[in-house]
Amino acid sequence: MSDLLHHLNAPQLQAVTLPPVHALILAGAGSGKTRVLTTRIAWLLATNQVGPAALLAVTFTNKAAREMTARLTAQVPINVRGMWIGTFHGLCNRMLRAHYREAGLPQTFQILDSGDQLAMVKRLQKNLGMDDEKYPPRELCHFINAHKEQGVRAAQAEVYDHYTQQRVDFYAEYEAQCNREGVCDFAELLLRSYELLQRNEPLRTHYQQRFKHILVDEFQDTNRLQYAWLQLLAGGGAKIFAVGDDDQSIYRFRGAEVGNMRDFEAQWCGDNIIRLEQNYRSHGNILAAANAIIQHNSDRLGKNLWTETGAGEPIRVFEGYSDLDEARFIVEEIRSLVRDGVLASQCAVLYRSNAQSRVIEHELFTQAVPYKVYGGLRFFERQEIKHALAYLRLLGNPDDDTAFLRVVNFPTRGIGARSLENLQAAAHQMNCSLYNAAASLSGKAAQTVGAFVGLIERLRNETAALPLPEIIEHVSEVSGLLEHYRREKEGQERLDNLNELVSAAATFIDAEGVIGEHGALADFLAHASLEAGEHQAGEGQEAVQLMSVHAAKGLEFDVVFLSGLEQGLFPHENAVNEGTAGLEEERRLMYVAVTRARQRLYLSSAQSRMLHGQTRYCVPSPFFSEIPGELLLRLNHTRTPYPASNRQADTAGGWDGSASTVAGWRIGQSVEHAKFGAGVIVACEGRGADARVQVNFGGGAGMKWLALEYAKLTPL
């Protein structure tokens, strides 16, 4: 027994050895929550307080469930394979398999993954004659899943307009079709399991009497239905041991309800709250910064991370003149760290939006630094980017059959598989490209494929005299790509990436200066292919890790670069527009990002950023002001800019410190106004008493022209 408990600190020991009571374990980042959860199970088994069959342990990922099982196997001499340890969906599937008749399911019911669900929705829409442009299939999937996660069937769904009524009617048809086929989507597993327990009293009583202890990992990520399912199971006297961190609740967009922790505290656990605050991951300065940031959130359950490892290094802050300057700094710093012996795999670059990865990827590629994009695709491999590039390829070379097949029916134009088979047969027979073979088709195929060919010809004519960034903008709009993703419930990220492609083109033109004989479009497509096809690190190769902050949760690295810390980017503009709830979730996301770092943390921003092909001037993130100044080491108080490399944004912005200045103030300079707060000068004009500057104060006051004779500005 002593071997089981000797490695625990005092709060951990208290949590593990609690008597049979409801308890909430507030486990901060890096505080050993998984250790506490698994040791609690092992201790209950080792002390014979409960048998393996009377335990239920639930988490959110299969990986976490496997890790929990592996740790238990090492801790107790008991076969844990038969224990109820798994994800919410996995355990609900297990329950429904055992009681399929009571649940109204066939014994061999199948589970639809997200792709299968989307395919069924599309098929059902076609059968019902439903307009898939007015009611996008992905949006319908989201509508159905969101209702199921709230425990709401089609019959109980709230209807407040005709559009919603149509979606609710489709939800009902979708339910009926799933029942006819004997299939369940992921959301259905949990909802049907909950309904089974709710209406079947003997079965509910059986499980309530069976499970004496219910242990929940990542409790802050539970949605309302998951919490209700746990409450049902615990209704017979089982004790819930909930481990989580309200400061790391960052999945509100997926339905996670941080309020579940407060509800559980009030309704179930009373005073049985244990805070795990000792951190075993990060140095003191990093934790002090994280504590300072998160304390600005309201309604926290409250905790304060600390460590015995010492303060460590200060947090390094870098402000680039541009997003390219920021990327160059990050890559140069990584190269220097690697030369000093730091493993590349222990260097992570985090960003709020996946679109930000493009400029960083470009610089890593340019400097021949191997990298991997964790939990996502490299920029030029993303679906929407490949679609846009396929259209661009057809402008330059209509005989490109690969590009043709990729977008001939995307967005959908009513071109079916049979039409494409006929087209490919005709092209083979005539020994020509699909594009040229289109003229030989007849009937409906001739009409639909011919319309696509006409679209490409129209785009070629309309873009002939346009600069490269405007070509991409025009093609993305007229092809229907932008509208397609605008209609998607979660299409904003894809729209951001398409906008970033425009910026990539503008940067490419500025950097290259002289375009080759084949023209800007051909050169840019070659550039995109090269970056897409090379330099992703191979399996087992040391490589820098790139990822969004959301993807970084649960991971840790020796060195973390947190980029793009600007108002509107992080915190994200969309979240800020949601009010206090949105801003507080962004702050929790910042807290998660900071606590990924073990030894060294870099925070970086840019004074200007290329967005949608245009240079935008940025205001530093308010999160900077929430970190005590004594924790920060500013790296570039006297820094001179990188060479502009023909990039007009740099020279036009006057970064050389002499051009575009007035009365000692310069474009790009950060300033503070007593009324409007912090901002960045974006324009200067006039002399003497007529001198004035235009300042971007961000989301608060916005753009303001200020007369320097009267405006009292303070340089930052």
Active-site residue, selected from the candidate residues 139, 185, 188, 217? 217
Residue 669 has which token pair? 């300079």
From 212, 378, 596, 647, the catalytic residue: 596
Residue owning tokens 């007015």: 134
In the residue annotation, 33 being an active-site residue is answered as yes
| HSE toward the beta carbon, residue 313, CA cutoff 13 A | 14
pLDDT of residue 464: 86
- Grouping H, G, I as helix, E, B as strand and the rest as coil, residue 273 is strand
pLDDT of residue 595: 97
pLDDT score recorded for residue 171: 96
Supply the pLDDT for residue 566: 94
| Cα–Cα nearest to 334, from 325, 319, 346 | 346
CA dist 392 to 140, 385, 409, 479, 482, Å? Answer: 31, 11, 15, 11, 15
> Which residue is catalytic, options 39, 59, 87, 248?
248
**Grouped pLDDT means (10 residues each) for the chain, 716 residues:** 81 94 93 92 91 91 84 82 87 92 89 87 91 87 93 92 93 93 91 95 94 94 94 92 93 85 88 93 96 93 92 94 93 94 96 90 90 83 90 88 88 85 87 88 84 92 88 92 84 87 83 56 78 58 92 94 94 86 93 96 92 80 94 70 37 34 76 83 73 76 78 84
Of residues 454, 433, 405, the one with CA closest to residue 462:
454
> What pLDDT score was predicted for residue 536?
55
327-333-572-263 Cα dihedral, nearest 10 degrees: 160
Catalytic, 477? Answer: no
Sign, CA dihedral 411-412-415-421, equals positive
Examine the residue annotation and report whether 596 is marked as an active-site residue of this protein. yes
Cβ contact 69:37 at 8 Å: no
Structure tokens at 154: 């089609």
Contact 233, 84 (CB under 8 A): no
| Alpha-carbon span 382 to 390, nearest angstrom | 12
Give residue 516's pLDDT.
Answer: 46
Residue 366 and residue 84: Cα distance in Å, rounded? 50
Examine the residue annotation and report whether 185 is marked as an active-site residue of this protein: no
Give catalytic status of residue 626 as yes or no: no
β-strand partners of 617: 608
Of residues 611, 626, 628, 604, the one with CA closest to residue 573:
611
Q: What are phi and psi of 14, to 5 degrees?
A: -60, -40
What is the SS3 assignment for 602? Answer: strand
Tokens of 21: 């009571």
Helices (H) and strands (E) in the chain, counts: 30, 24
**Partners of 237 in beta bridges:** none
Cα–Cα distance for residue pair 290/686, rounded to 1 Å: 44
Question: DSSP 3-state assignment of 244?
Answer: strand
What integer pLDDT is reported at residue 513 of this predicted model?
52
* pLDDT score at 514: 45
Nearest-angstrom CA–CA distance, 383 and 494: 8
